Amino acid sequence: MKDKKQMSDNQTLKEIAETLNSENDLQVMLHEVLKKLLSLTGLHTGWIFLIDKQGKYELIADYKMPEALCVRDKQPMCEGGCWCLDRYNDGRLKRATNIIECKRIEDAIELNWGDTEGITHHATVPLRAGKEAFGLLNVASPHKVHFSDDELVLLEGVAYQIGTAIKRVTLAKKENELMLLAERNRLARDLHDSVNQLLFSLVLTARGTKEMTNEPEIKDMLSYMQQLSQDALKEMKALIWQLRPQGLENGISTALIDYAKMLGLEVHMDVNGVLNLSSHLEEALWRIAQESLNNCSKHADVKDVFITFNITNDFVVMTIQDRGHGFFYEPHKELPSLGLLSMKERAELVKGTCHIESALGKGTKVTITIPIEEGTR
Ligand SMILES: Nc1ncnc2c1ncn2[C@@H]1O[C@H](COP(=O)(O)OP(=O)(O)O)[C@@H](O)[C@H]1O
Ligand SMILES: [Mg+2]
The answer to the question of residue 217 being in a domain is no
Ligand 1 pocket: which of 235, 242, 298 to mutate (most atoms within 8 A of CB): 298
Q: Indicate whether 361 and 267 sit together in one domain.
A: yes
3-state secondary structure of 54: coil
How many helices, marked H, and strands, marked E, lie in the chain?
10, 10
Q: How many CA atoms lie within 13 A of 153 on its CB side?
A: 7
The answer to the question of residue 213 being in a domain is no
CATH number at residue 7: 3.30.450.40
The structural domain count of the chain equals 2
The answer to the question of residue 258 being in a domain is yes
* Cβ–ligand 1 contact at 298 (below 6 Å): yes
Dump the DSSP string for 353-369: EEEEEEETTTEEEEEEE
CA of 275 to the centre of ligand 2 (A): 26
Q: What is the pLDDT of residue 377?
A: 46
CA of 346 to the centre of ligand 2 (A): 14
Domain boundary among 129, 151, 175: 175
Q: Indicate whether 46 and 156 sit together in one domain.
A: yes
CA of 263 to the centre of ligand 1 (A): 15
* Cβ–ligand 1 contact at 321 (below 6 Å): no
CATH number at residue 294: 3.30.565.10
Alpha-carbon span 22 to 233, nearest angstrom: 50
Alpha-carbon span 352 to 345, nearest angstrom: 9
* Cβ–ligand 1 contact at 126 (below 6 Å): no
Give residue 124's Cα distance to chain centre. Answer: 30
Domain boundary among 112, 143, 175: 175
* Cβ–ligand 1 contact at 337 (below 6 Å): yes
Q: Indicate whether 163 and 270 sit together in one domain.
A: no
The answer to the question of residue 115 being in a domain is yes
Is the Cβ–Cβ distance between 320 and 256 less than 8 Å?
A: no
Q: Indicate whether 7 and 147 sit together in one domain.
A: yes
The answer to the question of residue 33 being in a domain is yes
Alpha-carbon span 81 to 144, nearest angstrom: 23
User: Which residues make beta-bridge pairs with 375?
Assistant: none
Domain boundary among 148, 175, 202: 175
Range of the structural domain that residue 94 is part of? 2-175
Q: Please, what is the average pLDDT of the chain?
A: 87
Q: What is the pLDDT of residue 243?
A: 65
Pairing of strands 266-272, 304-311: parallel
The answer to the question of residue 50 being in a domain is yes
Q: What is the pLDDT of residue 7?
A: 64
Q: Indicate whether 269 and 121 sit together in one domain.
A: no
Taking CA atoms only, the protein residue closest to ligand 1 atom 14 is 337
The answer to the question of residue 161 being in a domain is yes
Q: What is the pLDDT of residue 336?
A: 64
Considering only CA atoms, which of 126, 122, 130, 53 is closest in space to residue 94? 126
Alpha-carbon span 191 to 240, nearest angstrom: 10
Per-residue exposure over 40-51, b if at least 16 CB sit within 10 Å of its own CB, e if not: bbebbbbbbbbb
Relative to the CA of 291, which ligand 1 atom is closest? Answer: 18
CA of 322 to the centre of ligand 1 (A): 12
Is the Cβ–Cβ distance between 222 and 206 less than 8 Å?
A: yes
The answer to the question of residue 344 being in a domain is yes
Contacts with 175 (C-beta within 8 Å, 6 or more apart), sequence order: none
* Cβ–ligand 1 contact at 339 (below 6 Å): yes
Alpha-carbon span 332 to 290, nearest angstrom: 24
Q: Indicate whether 270 and 171 sit together in one domain.
A: no
CA of 188 to the centre of ligand 1 (A): 27
Per-residue pLDDT of the chain (377 residues; tens, 9 = 90+): 556 666 688 888 888 999 898 888 899 999 999 999 999 899 999 999 999 888 889 999 999 999 999 988 898 898 888 888 888 888 887 666 778 888 898 888 888 888 999 999 899 999 988 888 899 999 999 999 888 888 888 898 999 999 999 999 988 887 887 787 777 777 777 777 788 889 999 999 999 999 999 999 999 999 999 999 999 988 887 777 666 555 676 788 998 998 899 889 999 999 998 887 877 788 889 989 999 999 999 999 999 999 999 999 899 999 999 999 999 887 777 766 778 988 998 899 999 999 999 999 999 999 999 999 754 44
CA distances from 119 to 13, 76, 340 (A): 25, 15, 59
3-state secondary structure of 213: coil
Q: Indicate whether 123 and 255 sit together in one domain.
A: no
